[in-house]
Amino acid sequence: MLPLWPSPPAPHPSPCRPISVEDLFYNVATRRKALKNPSEEYGKILEVVSRYAVHNSGISFSVKKQGETVADVRTLSNATIVDNIRSIFGNAVSRELIEVGCEDETLAFKMTGCVTNANYSMKKCTFLLFINHRLVESSALRKAIETVYAAYLPKNTHPFLYISLEIAPQNVDVNVHPTKHEVHFLHEDHILEHVQQHIENKLLGSNSSRMYFTQTLLPGITASSTDVVKPASSSSANQGIGDKVYARQMVRTDSRDQKLDAFLQPADKSKTSGLAAMAAGESNSKQTCKEIGPQDAEMEECSDFNVRTTRVETVQKPEGTMERQQTSPEDTHASKKQRIDGDVEMEEDARRDLTAACTPRRRIINLTSVLTLQEEISNQAHAGLQEMLRNHSFVGCVNPQWALAQYQTKLYLLNTTKLSQEMFYQILVYDFGNFGVLRLSEPAPLYDLAMLALENAESGWTEEDGPKEGLAEYIVDFLTKKSEMLKDYYSLEIDTDGNLTGLPLLIDNYVPLLEGLPMFVLRLATEVNWDEEKECFESLSKECALLYSIRKQHIMDESDLDVQQADKLGPNMHSWKWTVEHVLYKAFKAYLLPPKNFTEDGNILQLANLPDLYKVFERC
């Protein structure tokens, strides 16, 4: 390792001295061949640096590939060990950590670290072991600690462990392995026993409560399943023919029921991050169909509101064509038009709907890339999940990210953030080039938005990337050059002065949270593949969907406020709940084609089943 430029000799590297490592294992062909490709080598570098970043909490680490704008590992100099674990391994690990520490002067050792409690488990053990501040392994110590966790964790699951041992150097043997990767030390059995007992005592103290996650919705569920429960409305008719519905199988809700508060939309007059409020929504044909005043964010209905029914009615599912729930047989025959040879058909419908494509006639989109994206969405759709979403009964919001819903006799926990992000992506693909416009009352300068994003730690900006002002000017110039395409296909309007003037109108009564605009502008310039047509439309639609999805970090929750703050905000604090229930989940019923991966990634969790509750409580 050599410095980038000559410097006076010093016994130790001075602070902020750059060190360059080039041609690793240049003279060791065997080692060089062991690294199959640059990606594997980068993965090993990432693993080593991330582990040392956790151990050295007082030092800032940053790792990124050459040419990338976002660092894969980034820690701050003032961050704690828990903060670094959260940054590298995620919140799921950091929120379940407990600190451990013990020492023994007789055995000349000191142990500190963080381990997960009995609530957390993973398929593979993550063990960060530092002995005298060197990253090593000890199979005996790993086995001793996992023996303790075996009494608390489910079978074939493992904990997350970060242990730092300081042992007298003369007691450590580093020559037990050719690579010095594994070490042994004197009085090993006694030290392991001390560590084992200390961790066991910590786990006993943190075992007062446990958290369990139920199995995600199984992929095999279909609308024609044999265990589908019959609705309560048909119970009387069934009794007449001797088909009795038991209380444990009775469905006591109807997804078609409406609530009075659905007609009492709360007025949200809050400002968003210093940005201008929405002023007006206009269609691509310049016919105004929405009005959003600066003092009133309620949207008025559009009298000539043409809708698209093609997307839901004609998309082919694995089990066949699914029709809209609200469509009567007469309306279905009159209004349904199939796509022929993959073309997007023109269609008119005078019925009230949720989509924002309010032009008199839809544009014909024959772009192969767009049609391919539509086909991919259709092929990935899960009919069982769509049936559940179409006929669910909304129960309530847990927080801005999670909500409860009932389908038949089952209670589900739904990830509103992921569902809304997927729905907006599908709307952007199926309504491609047919959006209305939400116009800002005052233009938002792209330069200011880019500077706000670069000030955010989430952007991953470092001094090596160059001055923020230069990057912001580049983003403005780059997006201004793309403004014509963005306006034509996405109704994303940018004027010649580099100001954002309009956003696409995707569904009725919904305005995205403008706190996400700075990162949206930055990601448009850095995360969108502008070179390939299909990848460009796909990544651009996903970035827009990320902006429009409802996200917890941009919403003030009641649990984070005291009584005085909650009283001061008044009804505005609850407007997001109205939007989630009466706008988003209403749109999920009609337009979301849930992908098959939602059955496996924990975005839809089954919490309870009425027949199973009867087995426990014998009543409900």
Kind and range of the H or E run holding 468: helix 468-481
Distance, CA of 140 to CA of 136 (rounded, Å): 12
Confidence of residue 618 (pLDDT cuts 50, 70, 90): low
Spatial CB neighbours of 403, under 8 Å, sequence gap ≥ 6:
394, 395, 396, 397, 413, 414, 416, 580, 581, 585
Please tell me whether residues 157 and 187 are part of one structural domain.
yes
Residues in the chain: 620
| Residue bearing the bigger pLDDT, 106 or 36 | 106
DSSP assignment of 470-508, as one string?
HHHHHHHHHHHHTHHHHHHHH--EE-TTSEEEEEEE-BT
The DSSP code for 521 is H
From residue 273, give the alpha-carbon distance in Å to each of 509, 512, 554.
Answer: 21, 13, 10
Find the range with the poorest average confidence among 269-273, 299-303, 605-609: 299-303
Please tell me whether residues 154 and 194 are part of one structural domain.
yes
pLDDT for residue 262: 66
Distance, CA of 266 to CA of 571 (rounded, Å): 7
Which ranges of 77-180 would DSSP assign to H, the alpha helix?
81-89, 91-94, 139-149
Spatial CB neighbours of 261, under 8 Å, sequence gap ≥ 6:
578, 582
Does the pLDDT at position 22 exceed 50? yes
Confidence of residue 341 (pLDDT cuts 50, 70, 90): very low
Does the pLDDT at position 219 exceed 60? no
In the chain, what is the straight-line distance between the N-terminal and C-terminal CA atoms, in Å? 70
Please tell me whether residues 62 and 161 are part of one structural domain.
no
For tokens 């392994």, name the residue.
137
Query: Is 240 a domain residue?
Result: no
Please tell me whether residues 110 and 198 are part of one structural domain.
yes
Buried b (16+ CB within 10 A) or exposed e, 18-34: eeeeeeeeeeeeeeeee
Query: Is 255 a domain residue?
Result: no
Of 78, 112, 147, the position where a domain reaches its end is 78
Query: Is 46 a domain residue?
Result: yes
pLDDT for residue 7: 54
3-state secondary structure of 171: helix
Could you tell me the two tokens for 327? 């469509």
Query: Is 69 a domain residue?
Result: yes
Please tell me whether residues 46 and 113 are part of one structural domain.
no
Strand partners, 499: 445
Question: In total, how many domains does the chain have?
Answer: 2
Please tell me whether residues 107 and 196 are part of one structural domain.
yes
Confidence of residue 608 (pLDDT cuts 50, 70, 90): confident
What does the pLDDT look like over 383-396, one tens digit per residue?
Answer: 888 888 888 888 88
Could you tell me the two tokens for 213? 């996650």
Please tell me whether residues 73 and 100 are part of one structural domain.
no
Does the pLDDT at position 372 exceed 90? yes
Q: Residues 338, 314: contact at Cβ < 8 Å?
A: yes
Query: Is 267 a domain residue?
Result: no
Please tell me whether residues 196 and 100 are part of one structural domain.
yes
Q: Mean per-residue pLDDT for 553-559? A: 65
Distance, CA of 55 to CA of 103 (rounded, Å): 18
Please tell me whether residues 114 and 150 are part of one structural domain.
yes
- Global pTM? 0.52
Does the pLDDT at position 201 exceed 70? yes
What does the pLDDT look like over 277-331, one tens digit per residue?
Answer: 333 333 343 333 333 333 333 333 333 333 333 333 333 333 333 333 333 334 4
Kind and range of the H or E run holding 430: helix 416-430
Parent domain of 124: 96-205
For tokens 């079978």, name the residue.
155
Query: Is 34 a domain residue?
Result: yes
Please tell me whether residues 50 and 135 are part of one structural domain.
no
Does the pLDDT at position 41 exceed 80? yes
11 class by beta-carbon count within 10 Å (0-12 exposed, 13-18 middle, 19+ buried):
exposed
Q: Mean per-residue pLDDT for 576-591? A: 86
- Mean pLDDT for all residues in the chain: 75
Find the range with the poorest average confidence among 99-103, 151-155, 376-380, 489-493: 151-155
Q: Mean per-residue pLDDT for 511-523? A: 91
pLDDT for residue 617: 62
| Residue bearing the bigger pLDDT, 180 or 500 | 500
Q: Residues 488, 433: contact at Cβ < 8 Å?
A: yes
Of 184, 205, 226, the position where a domain reaches its end is 205
Neighbours of 395 (CB within 10 A): 16
CATH of the domain at 169: 3.30.230.10
Spatial CB neighbours of 435, under 8 Å, sequence gap ≥ 6:
284, 356, 357, 490, 491, 504, 505, 506
pLDDT for residue 5: 52
Could you tell me the two tokens for 568? 């001061």
Query: Is 185 a domain residue?
Result: yes
Query: Is 149 a domain residue?
Result: yes
Please tell me whether residues 116 and 179 are part of one structural domain.
yes
Which ranges of 90-127 would DSSP assign to H, the alpha helix?
91-94
Of 177, 205, 233, the position where a domain reaches its end is 205
Q: Mean per-residue pLDDT for 335-354? A: 38
Which ranges of 496-562 would DSSP assign to H, the alpha helix?
517-526, 533-548
What does the pLDDT look like over 432-459, one tens digit per residue?
Answer: 988 889 988 889 999 999 999 999 888 8
Please tell me whether residues 124 and 66 are part of one structural domain.
no
